[in-house]
Structure 1
Amino acid sequence: MDRVKRWRVFLLFLITLFLTACGVEDDVIRSSVQSPLKEVSLEPKEHQTYEQEITLSAIGDILIHSPVFKDAMGKSGYDFTPMLDRVKDFLSRSTITIANQETMIGGVELGLSSYPSFNSPQEVGDALKQVGVDVVTLANNHTLDRGEAAIQSALKHWETIDMMYAGAYKDQMDRENLRIYETEEGISTAFLSYTYGTNGIPVPDGKDYLVNLIDKEKIGKEIQLAKEEADVIVLSLHFGNEYERMPNEVQKDLVQYAADQGVHVVIGHHPHVLQPVDWVTGENGNKTLVAYSLGNFLSNQQELYQRIGGIFNFSVKKVSKGEEVDVEVHSPSFIPTYVTFTPYFSNYEVVPMYQLTNTELSGAENIYQEIKAHMSRWVPELAFPEE
């Protein structure tokens, strides 16, 4: 009997051991099923690296002379979108696209006008929105052409179509509201805009907010504020001498100052012709990308180089590791453009230069190659997408 009892006890022990083992294994399986999304990392969170990237594009002057808005006029208003059809795909593909709106879009109620005192249809803004522009800069020598009424009317329309603007503001509170564009990719970009002057038209007393004038001390303070709120700073400067194809010393000095303050990108306009791209080293060893002038994008100026502008593109990469954040601007590229129109000042169209035929521009290929060499003289790696 003792042998049988011992056998039974041993058998009971084996059964218990088997059931216990099955129970443990079943617990592991249930745990893995109940938490399929749980991630286990052996690396502390403060040491993990995260990368985000966006692309930006910038275009030069939208300068709406009367032949341009007359060409856009139809039975039901103004439509500028056909003028931009051939560049729409390039403008809409970037994360953020910025344009220099040289003329106030005060609208027909104030009376449309051309050089030297511009006021443009508000449909200009609608067209830019439709082709992919996200931000417009408004500080330039024509900002005050038609006074505060045109500025306020224009700003109201930009707000109506949900277009971010910089450089001219409704009031002091509006001016103090930094223009920071937040992207889904997790990169924030601050846009600042200033002009050398307003063609001798005085800024109304107590209303400095109507247009940002270039002042190093003021610019420096706003750059520091922007650095606290945004990952990237893009500074637009309306400066230089009209129709000069190379930057002057005043431009270079101001860009150097911006680089010393930590600005990532400087976009220039006012000369109405293209000036080269460059990298400028700041006092802390940082690199600032600059396009000294992007020329005219859409206008009725008629000399060869006045009809050539372009789309300036670059990428921004943000690398975060714990509390450390590094921002890198890289891969600059440029798509030269040309404004075509008939001898009777109609059918205005912005055309990528690589698509031009000799019918549209005599010697198109040679001029295109010259522009490529001009823009890349200081940045040999500047790319020229041809699609």
Structure 2
Amino acid sequence: MKKRITILLALLCVAAFILVGCADKIVVTNGKGNAVRGSVVASKEFPSFSKEITISAIGDILIHSPVYMDAKTEGGYDFLPMLERVKDTLEASTITVANQETMIGGEELGLSSYPSFNSPFEVGDALKAVGVNVVTLANNHTLDRGEAAIQNAISQWETIDMMYTGAYKDQLDRENLRIYETEEDISIAFLSYTYGTNGIPVPEGKDYLVNMIDKDRIAEEVALAKEKADIVTLSLHFGNENERMPNEEQKELVQFAADQGVDIVIGHHPHVLQPMEWVTGKDGHETFVMYSLGNFLSNQQDLYQRIGGILTLSIKKTVKGDAEELEVHSPKFMPTYVTFSEDFTNYEVTPMYTLTKDELKGAHQHYKEIKAHLSQWMPELEFME
């Protein structure tokens, strides 16, 4: 009889260990509800929790000569006053990314404006000071002043510890996928590509100097980014200048990106704001896209060329057991307007909701129209005020 009880207890113990993965605690009983062991078998505990971050994006930093002349000081250049009104909003996000349209090749190469740009190093200092963490560099002006300006700019970005993507110093640098790791253990990969370089040929054997839009390369790098990061953000320099709606080529390329599993697409180049929407990929994956973020800081003169903004998205990571869920949600936008004096001084990026009629005639109506324009495919879009 004792032998049978011993065997029964052994079998019950084995059963308990088998069940360990299915319950937090297992108590072995003798079939009458009475415990035959004084201790419990604890399972491996799988935590369940959520973490959340925000990511903001701004459009073209397009430094024409009146802008850098306004920033001129005795000791160099100071662009920070131009960004003071939006500093708090930019700093509030976990990550902020800007499209640096002009290479910051520095004074030693000679500063220049349209059509062949070269900007002061201090542009980067100002972006860093207001909370920008990442700059995208692939655009139609990347090669304006040749390899020297690109290498100077990259050296400066590295000096101030700014992540850059879309233009690289060599092939090894290009192969180093840009992934921003946050304290919340959420990682974001940043990719950047342009439709062209204004007819300037890429130096032979130096494709790394600027990322061109190529579907095969994009698919390959997106796949790699998805393996290594939680969220993939794709910056595309595409579309037609001064057109307020995306063209079919833009839509087709965004659909391709969604089919690859990209999470966020940010467009640049039109110099005006284009709407945003959710695009469904072939596997049901939802991709957020803003077709154009317009200009953020420039000397372009037309009304819509002076209107840009700050896009903010929330990213939530939920851990359930040994599985993770990631969600991009709650898009918000703050329209901005570049104000300056008649003598092309006092440039400031100003939130549109604060504009007075002296700063922009009919400011309220323009602000209302911009909100309707941006939200036409996304009625849930919130505006930050």
Superposition TM-score, scaled by structure 2 size: 0.89
**Deviation for aligned residue 1:323:** 3.4
Residue in 2 that maps onto 1:115: 114
Equivalent positions of 1:65-144 (< 5 A) are 65-144=64-143
Equivalent positions of 1:1-387 (< 5 A) are 44-46=44-46, 48-386=47-385
> Could you list the per-position Cα deviations for residues 139-169 of structure 1 after superposition, in whole angstroms to 9, with x for gaps in the alignment?
0000000000000000000000000000000
> Could you list the per-position Cα deviations for residues 295-342 of structure 1 after superposition, in whole angstroms to 9, with x for gaps in the alignment?
000000000000000000000001122432211000000000000001
One-letter amino acid matched to 2:96: T
Residues 209 and 362 of structure 1: is their aligned pair in 2 closer, same or farther, counting only changes over 3 Å? same
Residues 195 and 41 of structure 1: is their aligned pair in 2 closer, same or farther, counting only changes over 3 Å? farther
CA distance in 2, matches of 1:259, 1:385: 27
Residues 356 and 153 of structure 1: is their aligned pair in 2 closer, same or farther, counting only changes over 3 Å? same
Superposition TM-score, scaled by structure 1 size: 0.88
One-letter amino acid matched to 2:345: S
CA distance in 1, matches of 2:41, 2:196: 57
Q: After TM superposition, what 4+ stretches of structure 1 lie above 6 angstroms from structure 2?
A: 40-43
**Deviation for aligned residue 1:184:** 0.3
**Deviation for aligned residue 1:134:** 0.2
SS of the equivalent of 2:369 reads helix
CA distance in 2, matches of 1:335, 1:190: 24
> Could you list the per-position Cα deviations for residues 89-110 of structure 1 after superposition, in whole angstroms to 9, with x for gaps in the alignment?
0000000000000000000000
**Deviation for aligned residue 1:45:** 2.4
> Could you list the per-position Cα deviations for residues 202-261 of structure 1 after superposition, in whole angstroms to 9, with x for gaps in the alignment?
000000000000000100000000011000001000000000000000000010011111
Q: Which moved more, 1:301-310 or 1:321-330?
A: 321-330
Identity %: 73
Residue in 2 that maps onto 1:32: none
CA distance in 2, matches of 1:336, 1:41: 58
CA distance in 2, matches of 1:42, 1:310: 53
> Could you list the per-position Cα deviations for residues 20-69 of structure 1 after superposition, in whole angstroms to 9, with x for gaps in the alignment?
xxxxxxxxxxxxxxxxxxxx9977423x3221111000000000000000
Instruction: For structure 1, list consecutive stretches of 5 or more residues without a partner in the other structure.
Output: 1-39
One-letter amino acid matched to 2:95: I
Instruction: For structure 2, list consecutive stretches of 5 or more residues without a partner in the other structure.
Output: 1-39
One-letter amino acid matched to 1:370: E
**Deviation for aligned residue 1:358:** 0.2
CA distance in 2, matches of 1:306, 1:45: 55
CA distance in 1, matches of 2:383, 2:361: 21
Residue in 2 that maps onto 1:21: none
CA distance in 2, matches of 1:261, 1:42: 42
The structure number with the bigger radius of gyration is: 1
SS of the equivalent of 1:103 reads coil
SS of the equivalent of 1:126 reads helix
Residues 41 and 127 of structure 1: is their aligned pair in 2 closer, same or farther, counting only changes over 3 Å? farther
> Could you list the per-position Cα deviations for residues 123-145 of structure 1 after superposition, in whole angstroms to 9, with x for gaps in the alignment?
00000000000000000000000
SS of the equivalent of 1:142 reads coil
CA distance in 1, matches of 2:299, 2:146: 23
One-letter amino acid matched to 1:280: V
One-letter amino acid matched to 1:175: R
CA distance in 2, matches of 1:68, 1:246: 28
CA distance in 2, matches of 1:122, 1:385: 31
SS of the equivalent of 1:45 reads coil
SS of the equivalent of 2:155 reads helix
CA distance in 1, matches of 2:319, 2:251: 32
Residues 281 and 70 of structure 1: is their aligned pair in 2 closer, same or farther, counting only changes over 3 Å? same
**Deviation for aligned residue 1:286:** 1.2
One-letter amino acid matched to 1:348: Y
**Count of matched residue positions in the alignment of Structure 1 and Structure 2:** 346
SS of the equivalent of 1:105 reads coil
SS of the equivalent of 2:161 reads coil
**Deviation for aligned residue 1:85:** 0.4
SS of the equivalent of 2:85 reads coil
